[in-house]
Structure 1
Amino acid sequence: MGSVPAWARAYVACVVLMALACLTPLPHLRVPWWIVALLAVLYAGCERVTLPPRPRGAGAPGGETPQGMGTFLPFLPVLLAGAFLLPPPAAALVALPGALLARVEQRPRGPRRIWRAAQLAVAVWAASRVHGALGGRDAVATPDFPYALVPAGAAVLTFCAVLTVLDGGILALAERAPVRGAWRGLFARSLAPVAVHGLAGLMMAVLWRSPYGPVAALLVLLPMYVSCWVFAQYHRERAAHQATIRALVQAVDIKDGYTRGHSERVGQASVMIARELRMDDERVEVLRFAGILHDVGKLGVPTRLLRKDGPLTPEERRVIELHPEYGHEMVRGIGFLGEARSAILHHHERLDGSGYPYGLAGAQIPEFARVVAVADAFDAMTSTRSYSRARPVPVALEELKRCAGAQFDPRMVGALVRALGRHGWHPAVTADIGPSASPGPGMPPARPSGTVGRRTP
């Protein structure tokens, strides 16, 4: 864990100690150890097969991301069934073999497995404790419906709350996420899937205590296992999509290095606009792809033009202005991009019809293209380049508002202004350019008045 900050290592050590404390009473308990062993083996097997790979770049030892808690969940029905059937220390023990043997994509793998085992053990212990305190075990043994749902629901809420607290802490310490935002959305995103898994776990526990016994209880796992397997396949496909996007962006950054990081920041600003416009999550994700890939067509432009120090000739400028069409051709066959393809093609169109490549005007310009155009211009103005210093955010926003209606869609500009007023501008990446880097093609010392984002075609 050498790359993990010292405070994060101390935090992980504290959680591990908490997990060990949860297991301390085990030698003094009289529990049906065959149930503990069977559930532990079941959980370990399901975890190995169904758990999707963690996203690259997650800094927390458990491999989680701010989005990850509600997305990359382990196979919980077995764990929660253990919480409903067993005393808290024994229920916590069920989680350990599967978490310690789970696939981990990132190094260091050992500490990440230990973190995951510790946080799951603590969460399951707390859930089992709450379930037992509310008389849940008697309700499962009877069974007494719908009363049995009350302690089970409280246990699910406790499980989610503990994971939220632990994940938010590791995000704040290991990934240095803002303290105010580290926990934002984690509980809400995790609650629905955990509740579904909790209901399956309750069905397992009730059937286990019924005359039909463990065999009937195991049948509950089949549909849940199939759904989790499909879920894992979906996320593996999504990870492949993201790898494709990452490879294209890296290729653009290598070829046009003076704007390194620009693509990711445009994607971030595009997402802020989209959320302010209340687009659904699927469209927000596609729009993020559009922002990240808006300049991918530069791969088709001769490098000598992108790195030319002096002014461009009219012919050279026409060649560079082909990059939206090049980009559209490059991504035409990538089906998951959807509306992003039109944004890549039309993000240099202007509301007054003076843009390129087709001179579209007003509502003829696709919505995604109008969003990316504003995000692109905003980042161009607020990023330091060799030919100009970054403008302060308020100055850049005033310029965008001044050009709204002629160059930019006023609705998109207003959405960005509101989003920045609420959240501020904290780009995840910064342009990597030093004083020796060459300016962009044909970059004059000053930005032409009345035109934003016209330095690079």
Structure 2
Amino acid sequence: MAEPRGPRAVPTAARLAVTAAVAGAVVCALPVLRGGVSWPAVALLAGLYALCEWPARCPVLAGRVDVPVASGSFFPVLLAAVFLLPPAAAALVAVPGALVASVDEEPRRLRRAWRAAQLALAASAAAGAHVLLGGRAALGGRDPGAAPDFPYVLLPAAGAALVFCLVLTALDGLILTTAERRPVGTAWRGLLLRSLAPHCVHGLAGLMMAVLWRSRFGPPAALFVLLPMYISCWVFAQYHRERAAHQATIRALVQAVDIKDRYTRGHSERVGRASELIARELGMAEGRLEVIRFAGILHDVGKLGVPTRVLRKDGPLTPEERAVIELHPEYGHEMVRGIGFLGEARAAVLHHHERLDGSGYPYGLVGTQIPEAARVVAVADAFDAMTSTRSYRRARPVAAAVTELERCAGTQFDPRMVAGLVRALSRHGWHVEVTADEPGAAQARGNVPPPRQTRPPAPARPDPAASAPGPGPRPSNPQGA
């Protein structure tokens, strides 16, 4: 869930949004004062939900036991309350868990108040929708031992889960707009689609809890649903933590390269994007697409082993300097070969400067001796090198770059990869971004040439794009884009 930012950065609009949400939650919970609420059920469900959120704050367990997912997002118990209790009581169940959940950033009190209000509003609205759709009757009405009306019971449960998701995402967008100052048109973009599937899964688990709760076995039977669901969420969270660690590793390596070689800033990310587009057009399995993208992002990581004075040299390279540059694929492979999750991306880092005719480096591989991932990255690398404006040369138009790639297909590049890139560009287009922090580089966006210079230009640095196609010998500075 989205939350307000730090104490000094919380705008007045965000504080007003939190205040309004808290007031709305209080209004939703007030009907419990009229009575008719099963307080033991409210207390038990609220305690279970709080228990699910508590480990991250426990002095003994914190740092030793990971909570299953982000704080405040383990919802089966909360949705079971939505299906079992009146709207006002369901709102109360959300509050203790939200207040005991771990909060890492200040202002903690404001964040907890927002979370409690947000969940209370969502639970109350979802419970109201469940009642309107006849969900209580479908679960067995007032008879605790009555059998639920399957499959009709699924319809009101799905409607309640949808309302729950809609309210949460609406409030998420509100806080992003007021606290993060995001444009109204983009604050809600993608929130619902990302949240819908997890909330539906949690809703199904909550329905199973509610059915068992109302069965002749009573509340203890419902705990048998909670435990495996909690463990499943924990395993899922471990996967996402590992994935986040992978992304952080790659991001750190790429940032180090960008800092060292300012001429190719952003190049790695774009090569990764182009590599993924090619792989998708070739029909590669979904699991390989991310690995291919990693290969494109990390293809130049070996530049970290090349002296900075060589990378930034403004004149032609000497044969000795060129030999050092040509070692960067091997340096890169040494850096990443111990990172197991990269898989075939490691071979692509090593071989992305090989050419189909055997004239590439470091090993002069020929044809299909070159790993498929490396052949993909080679095309993506050359394409971005040609279509990116640098401080020392202007970009080629996308159409001209494609023509050059097609001309060199079969000798330098794999024709399948070139054809895949062409199809991908016809579907998605290509947005060229600035790749160097040089004066006037902003004109590079969209392949627009820089304005006419009013004084003699500085001596141009040789084109470093060893992957860029062209007849005859390789350029004098074959360091890669």
Shift of 1:423: 3.4
Deviation string 1:277-335 (CA, Å, 9 cap, x unpaired) is: 44343322222221221111111222221122210112221211111111111111111
Matches within 5 A, 1:85-100: 85-100=84-99
Q: Indicate conservation of the 8 Å contact 1:276/1:416, yes or no.
A: yes
Deviation string 1:370-407 (CA, Å, 9 cap, x unpaired) is: 22222222322232211012344444334333433333
Question: Which one-letter code corresponds to 2:295 in the other structure?
Answer: A
Question: Which one-letter code corresponds to 2:30 in the other structure?
Answer: P
The aligned residue for residue 140 of structure 1 is 139
Farther-moved stretch of structure 1 (14-23 vs 296-305): 14-23
Deviation string 1:436-456 (CA, Å, 9 cap, x unpaired) is: 9999974489x8855999863
Farther-moved stretch of structure 1 (103-112 vs 366-375): 103-112
SS in 2 for 1:25: helix
- 187, 194, 200: which one pairs with 2:205? 200
Farther-moved stretch of structure 1 (16-25 vs 361-370): 16-25
TM-aligned CA distance change 1:423 to 1:27, over 3 Å: same
CA distance, structure 2, for counterparts of residue 262 and residue 359 of structure 1: 25
CA distance, structure 2, for counterparts of residue 18 and residue 423 of structure 1: 41
The aligned residue for residue 449 of structure 2 is none
User: What TM-score, normalized to structure 1?
Assistant: 0.80
The aligned residue for residue 65 of structure 1 is none
- 289, 295, 299: which one pairs with 2:300? 295
Farther-moved stretch of structure 1 (234-243 vs 162-171): 162-171
The aligned residue for residue 154 of structure 1 is 159
- 35, 41, 46: which one pairs with 1:35? 41
Q: Indicate conservation of the 8 Å contact 2:53/2:101, yes or no.
A: yes
The aligned residue for residue 383 of structure 2 is 378
Gaps of 5+ in 1: 52-69
Shift of 1:358: 2.0
Gaps of 5+ in 2: 58-68, 141-145, 442-457
Q: Indicate conservation of the 8 Å contact 1:404/1:413, yes or no.
A: yes
TM-aligned CA distance change 1:169 to 1:22, over 3 Å: closer
Matches within 5 A, 1:433-452: 433-435=437-439, 442-443=462-463, 449-450=470-471
Farther-moved stretch of structure 1 (227-236 vs 84-93): 84-93
The aligned residue for residue 24 of structure 1 is 27
The aligned residue for residue 431 of structure 1 is 435
Deviation string 1:41-90 (CA, Å, 9 cap, x unpaired) is: 32233235489xxxxxxxxxxxxxxxxxx999821211211111122233
CA distance, structure 2, for counterparts of residue 281 and residue 110 of structure 1: 42
CA distance, structure 2, for counterparts of residue 15 and residue 398 of structure 1: 56
Deviation string 1:169-200 (CA, Å, 9 cap, x unpaired) is: 7779959699589645x655544443332222
Matches within 5 A, 1:3-402: 17=20, 20-21=23-24, 23-29=26-32, 30=35, 31-49=37-55, 74-104=73-103, 116-117=115-116, 119-141=118-140, 142-146=146-150, 147-163=152-168, 183=189, 190-402=195-407
CA distance, structure 2, for counterparts of residue 359 and residue 368 of structure 1: 16
Farther-moved stretch of structure 1 (362-371 vs 174-183): 174-183
The aligned residue for residue 417 of structure 1 is 422
SS in 2 for 1:333: coil
Larger Rg: 2
TM-aligned CA distance change 1:312 to 1:88, over 3 Å: same
SS in 1 for 2:410: coil
Q: Indicate conservation of the 8 Å contact 1:305/1:441, yes or no.
A: no
CA distance, structure 2, for counterparts of residue 424 and residue 18 of structure 1: 43
TM-aligned CA distance change 1:113 to 1:73, over 3 Å: closer
Shift of 1:107: 6.7
Q: CA RMSD in A?
A: 4.0
TM-aligned CA distance change 1:21 to 1:399, over 3 Å: farther
Question: Which one-letter code corresponds to 1:368 in the other structure?
Answer: A
Q: Indicate conservation of the 8 Å contact 2:30/2:88, yes or no.
A: no
The aligned residue for residue 54 of structure 1 is none
Q: Indicate conservation of the 8 Å contact 2:87/2:125, yes or no.
A: yes
Question: Which one-letter code corresponds to 2:148 in the other structure?
Answer: D
Shift of 1:341: 0.6
The aligned residue for residue 456 of structure 1 is 479
CA distance, structure 2, for counterparts of residue 177 and residue 337 of structure 1: 36
Give the percent of matched residue pairs that are identical in Structure 1 and Structure 2.
66
CA distance, structure 2, for counterparts of residue 247 and residue 18 of structure 1: 39
Deviation string 1:253-297 (CA, Å, 9 cap, x unpaired) is: 222222222222222222333333443433222222212211111
SS in 2 for 1:351: coil
CA distance, structure 2, for counterparts of residue 431 and residue 116 of structure 1: 40
TM-aligned CA distance change 1:41 to 1:379, over 3 Å: farther
Aligned length: 435
Farther-moved stretch of structure 1 (81-90 vs 105-114): 105-114
Q: Indicate conservation of the 8 Å contact 1:311/1:443, yes or no.
A: no
